[in-house]
Amino acid sequence: MIDPKLEEKLTEKARWVRAKVLEMAVRSSSGHISTAFSETELLVALYCGGILRYNPRNQKWPDRDRFIFSKGQGGLGLYPILADVGYFPVSELDRFAQKGSILGVHTEWNIPGIEVITGSLGHGLPIATGIAQVAKNDGLDFLTFCFLGDAELYEGSNWEASCFAAHSELNNLICIVDRNGQ
């Protein structure tokens, strides 16, 4: 059972993220709003609910959990959270999709707080299984989270990666599917 105060905090944070997403999309006349809205609660829970271990001040902290964001079009929903937790100034959100901004419509690898980003569907889970396997081989204690869109589950590479993860008993790999029906 979740603490009512934490639940209220996370609900308010999700409202703030959605308002920011809408504001950014309207200001820039671009972005994937429905994708951003569908992933909001999941991302808020991960980053603000005490699930992910991360440190914006030490982005290469060896014990951080690895977050593989396989939904390249979902950056609009992730950006406000990364700014809110301190990876870059919240003011950068006002420059979304503008020339010179680090925040593009499609998420790129150089955005602070993003471990790995994939643009091609079906690449996130194979990358995540590789990272989880290396951690297991090296006796490292971090978890690898892979955030997937439901449509990319049609890609065979995800099923091959799933079979590999099961066969290798990767109990340090957590897959989260944003099942939005699109």
pLDDT tens digits, residue range 61-120? 999 999 999 887 888 999 999 999 999 999 999 999 999 899 988 887 788 998 887 766
More confident position, 30 or 163: 163
Checking phi first, is residue 50 left (phi over 0); if not, alpha (psi -120 to 50) or beta? left
What's the confidence (pLDDT) of residue 72?
74
What's the confidence (pLDDT) of residue 31?
87
| pLDDT at 144 > cutoff 80 | yes
Percent of the chain with pLDDT over 70: 97
Contacts of 125 (CB under 8 A, 6+ apart): 68, 70, 146, 148, 157, 158, 161, 162, 165, 175
| pLDDT at 156 > cutoff 60 | yes
The answer to whether the beta carbons of residues 50 and 81 sit under 8 Å apart is no
Q: Which two three-digit tokens encode residue 137?
A: 């081989």
What's the confidence (pLDDT) of residue 108?
77
What's the confidence (pLDDT) of residue 45?
97
Angle at 132 between CA 128 and CA 133, to 5 degrees: 115
Percent of the chain with pLDDT over 90: 71
What's the confidence (pLDDT) of residue 115?
86
| pLDDT at 43 > cutoff 80 | yes
What's the confidence (pLDDT) of residue 120?
67
- Please list the alpha-helical segments (H only) found in the chain: 4-28, 33-48, 75-84, 124-138, 156-167
Residue 149's Cβ-side half-sphere holds a number of Cα atoms within 13 Å equal to 23
**pTM, rounded to two decimals:** 0.92
What are the angstrom distances between the C-alpha of 6 and each of 12, 31, 46, 66?
10, 30, 13, 24
CA pair distance 172, 4, nearest whole angstrom: 29
131, with CB counted inside 10 A (0-12, 13-18, 19+), is buried
| pLDDT at 182 > cutoff 70 | no
| pLDDT at 27 > cutoff 70 | yes
What's the confidence (pLDDT) of residue 71?
83
